[in-house]
Structure 1
Amino acid sequence: MPKGFMERLERRKITTSGFLVYLGVDLDVTKLDFDRVTVCPFLEMGSLDGHLHDPENCYFWIEIPTRHYPTLAPKGKHIIVLAAPAYHDDLANWGLEANGHRGTSYQATKEKVADSLIRQAEKVIPSLSQHILVKEVATPATIARYTLNRGGAGMGWDQTPEEAIKPGQVTPVRQLYLVGQWTYPQGSVPGVVGSGWILANLIKEDRI
């Protein structure tokens, strides 16, 4: 692999990951006047850096998918998702052990942050904690584990002013091509599909 190619990749930063709390509830969410809302307890824009610094004072968003798709849950039940931007190395690496093992410290950190978000969510969804039937929690380490994305990155490489364009589909290695959120044009489902479409056309038109 050419040295310059690897050096360019090593300079790049990754996008933020997330801390996610998935709740199954017996709460009548149809009485709420929103299906998606952002909870932001502070006004300092400098604090919006993608890191989860303080679980008791962080911004996050709430989504209620069953407001539009009620068949996602049993009749009379709903799904509520709490999601906060976070990086893999936040909160002392989420209490992970040096070898990456998820021990008691990790589990305690995960539950503490989840409970904090639930308490904050009760500012807009009163008595939420009293109606939880199912709770699943994911940290950036969880996302990295199940998606194999470095650091649990939500959209691959970050697009900064210095590195605005993501790497293309063609690599210096003969017949090694790349698609997905780490390549041009961007992350998200449309971006990932687009990267595959671009490569397919390059191959079809013999432009590689």
Structure 2
Amino acid sequence: MSEKTIAIIGAGVAGLAAGCYGQMNGYKTQVFESHNLPGGLCTAWTRQGYTFDGCIHWLTGSAPGDSMFSLWEELGAVQGKTMYDHDVFWRTVATDGRTFSLYADPDRLEAHMKALSPTDSEPIEQLCKWIRQFATFSMPVGKPRELMSALDGLKLAFRLRRHLKALNDLSKTTMGDYAKRFKDPLLAAGLSEAIGAYTPLIGLVMTLVPMFRKAAGFPAGGSLDFARAIEARYTSLGGEIRYSARVARILERDGNAVGLELEDGTQIDADYVISATDLRATLHSLLDGTRQHETHRMLLQSGKLYPPCVQISFGVKRVIHELDECLGESFPLVRPVKLAGDDVGWMTVKSYAFDPSLAPEGCSVVTSILTADWEFWNRLREDRPTYTAEKDTIAAACANAIDARYPGFKDAIEVTDVATPLTFERYTGNWKGTFMTWLLAPDFQRKYGYVRKTIPGLDNVYLASMWTVPPGGLPGAAMAGREVVQMLCAKDGNRFVTTKP
């Protein structure tokens, strides 16, 4: 019997992962990518010798001891890679000059926070207690939800038994709500600014825990190099990638997906189709939009998306050593400014000087990220002069703000680049230019359950992108690619196997 074929849409991390695992399990796979590079959102771009990274801030599972590390090894993503770790996740500066450093080490964090605000001992101790509780915890990489039996569910619940109450408490409390428990405005602002007031508190804890274990570092070379490593693993397994090959539609016959049609009219036959691209585009553009799970419909109609961003990147002929210990910093502006329709009172700044491969010697990349309003930028889609002027205004405001905090910054700028939500949409096709998916609000599980990787009424097509593993990110994307191949193996009666290079 000849090997079965899989046509994969998208060479992002999810699509490349699906391709790798498909090849490991005896399928003949082809990946079709509209861009001329791998990675999707996991990307970077170079300007005059400076590499501006558009994705990885920290990589969960960057070192042994975390369940994700083995998966990254299977994908060939971490072998031989230097990882850069930080002691401080985020730093927040008050108007009075006081500084709150969000240490990953719970002992250092507790002592530091209590020194800043002894009257906030109760919420400080609770936060650090949660971090210590999960110090050796990492999310299991096992079967997809679709293949889990009742017994599998019981085994998982037993494994998580001592964490279930904490997981529930952390999931139903947002960063903003927890910040309100603090009397000190600096601690409250620091917690709200760290990963967003709208984010469940579990997001912060599950970020600090692997950082504390030195298992959430930045891979040397950045995001595009990381994606290239997975691309190399995929092709070494015998997989094929076709770049600049935009898929127009998924072909179907008698209730089964049977292949793809490219924009140039080329038709590709396949036993299975895996769509590792934007969920909305898959359901409403590559298909006719009439078939979707109720969960898909509800999320696309009313699910709250992670807000998109504007990334301002500077190539500077200096290094801001004050930023060496932290992943990034937030500081208040002396006078708030209106940028892209929003009142901005805080500025963020991040230095990539820790990775010398990203800039010429003695120089560094510095970025600032601002939350963006999709509708504002979408209105400028056809107004190029206003769009360009707005980008220039934002770049100048950021440069001025950073210069006020770190004098001499503006004079050292050699290159400036501004990426807007329209930039992210143009290069990745991600709906509304977002870089994640849906916000995991406290009631998310109750309202939506889990996001299905199949489409009702159409067999042999599978969904494998970060959209099926909210809120998204690289671990979710890689697991989505892995899980759909597990589902294919189960369908074909084959044992799922993995290998490492």
CA distance in structure 1 between the partners assigned to 2:310 and 2:318 by the alignment: 23
Structure 1 residue 120: deviation in Å?
1.5
Counterparts of residues 169-184 of structure 1 (less than 5 Å): 169-172=453-456, 173-184=458-469
Q: Which amino acid aligns with 1:22?
A: S
Q: Which amino acid aligns with 1:65?
A: Y
Q: Deviations over 1:155-191 (max 9, x none)?
A: 1223223434552212223222111121125411111
Specify which of 78, 93, 98 is matched with residue 377 of structure 2: 93
Corresponding residue for residue 480 of structure 2: 195
* Partner secondary structure for residue 426 of structure 2: helix
Q: Deviations over 1:54-73 (max 9, x none)?
A: 2xx3334221112x211211
CA distance in structure 2 between the partners assigned to 1:203 and 1:184 by the alignment: 18
Corresponding residue for residue 46 of structure 1: none
Q: Deviations over 1:25-76 (max 9, x none)?
A: 101323655443332428xxxxxxxx9712xx3334221112x211211111
Q: Which amino acid aligns with 1:78?
A: S
Task: Please give the TM-score of this superposition, normalised by the length of structure 1.
Answer: 0.80
CA distance in structure 1 between the partners assigned to 2:323 and 2:293 by the alignment: 54
Asked if the contact 2:466–2:476 (Cα under 8 Å) also holds between the matched residues in 1, the reply is: yes
Asked if the contact 2:313–2:367 (Cα under 8 Å) also holds between the matched residues in 1, the reply is: yes
CA distance in structure 1 between the partners assigned to 2:330 and 2:365 by the alignment: 18
Cα RMSD (Å) of the superposition? Answer: 2.7
Structure 1 residue 150: deviation in Å?
0.9
CA distance in structure 2 between the partners assigned to 1:193 and 1:155 by the alignment: 14
Q: Which amino acid aligns with 1:123?
A: A
1:3/1:24 Cα in 2 relative to 1: closer, same or farther (>3 Å)? Answer: closer
1:205/1:59 Cα in 2 relative to 1: closer, same or farther (>3 Å)? Answer: farther
5+ residue gaps, structure 1: 43-50
Corresponding residue for residue 297 of structure 2: 7
Task: Please give the TM-score of this superposition, normalised by the length of structure 2.
Answer: 0.35
Rg: which structure is higher? 2
CA distance in structure 1 between the partners assigned to 2:492 and 2:405 by the alignment: 54
CA distance in structure 2 between the partners assigned to 1:134 and 1:148 by the alignment: 26
Which shows bigger deviation, 198-207 or 136-145? 198-207
1:203/1:111 Cα in 2 relative to 1: closer, same or farther (>3 Å)? Answer: same
Higher helix share: 2
Corresponding residue for residue 47 of structure 1: none
CA distance in structure 2 between the partners assigned to 1:81 and 1:95 by the alignment: 25
Corresponding residue for residue 451 of structure 2: 167
CA distance in structure 1 between the partners assigned to 2:327 and 2:435 by the alignment: 19
1:187/1:60 Cα in 2 relative to 1: closer, same or farther (>3 Å)? Answer: farther
Corresponding residue for residue 139 of structure 1: 420
Q: Which amino acid aligns with 1:18?
A: C
Counterparts of residues 65-144 of structure 1 (less than 5 Å): 65-66=352-353, 68-89=354-375, 92-93=376-377, 96=380, 100-144=381-425
CA distance in structure 1 between the partners assigned to 2:293 and 2:487 by the alignment: 24
Say whether 1:53 aligns with 2:53: no
Say whether 1:21 aligns with 2:312: yes
CA distance in structure 1 between the partners assigned to 2:492 and 2:436 by the alignment: 27
> Identity over the aligned pairs, expressed in percent?
23
1:150/1:156 Cα in 2 relative to 1: closer, same or farther (>3 Å)? Answer: same
Structure 1 residue 207: deviation in Å?
8.6
5+ residue gaps, structure 2: 1-289, 334-339, 494-501
Structure 1 residue 94: deviation in Å?
6.7
Q: Which amino acid aligns with 1:73?
A: A
1:203/1:94 Cα in 2 relative to 1: closer, same or farther (>3 Å)? Answer: closer
Corresponding residue for residue 224 of structure 2: none
Q: Which amino acid aligns with 1:142?
A: T
CA distance in structure 2 between the partners assigned to 1:183 and 1:106 by the alignment: 33
Stretches (4+) displaced over 4 A: 31-35
* Partner secondary structure for residue 370 of structure 2: strand
